[in-house]
Amino acid sequence: MADYILDLRKAAGRRPLLQTGAGVIVVDAAGCVLLQRRSDNGCWDYAGGSMELGEEAEETAQPPLARWLAERNA
């Protein structure tokens, strides 16, 4: 069901959809909050994403956070 959200969007067209998501707000020792620039609109946001059907919240939030940590430590 990896394309569940895309399939819903195709079926609904431009009508509003209610989606469940999960995110992570990370604060470092200095009190700074982790933000990442979104690839779809260029705005700053916390790490997270839309949940796929049958996915747990941790499964949704972990990949964006892991990507940010990998880029930061590269």
Contacts of 3-11 spanning 24+ positions with Cβ under 8 A: 4/52, 4/53, 5/50, 5/52
Degrees to nearest 5, angle at CA 51 with 45 and 56: 115
Residue 71, both tokens:
């880029």
pLDDT at 1 over 60: no
pLDDT digits (tens, 9 = 90+) for 23-38: 999 898 999 998 888 8
- pTM (global) more than 0.85: no
Residue type, 35: L
Residues 28-74: pLDDT tens digits? Answer: 899 999 888 888 899 999 888 888 888 899 998 888 888 878 877 77
pLDDT of residue 42: 92
Average pLDDT over every residue of 18-27 = 90
Give the other-Cβ count within 10 Å of 65's Cβ.
Answer: 17
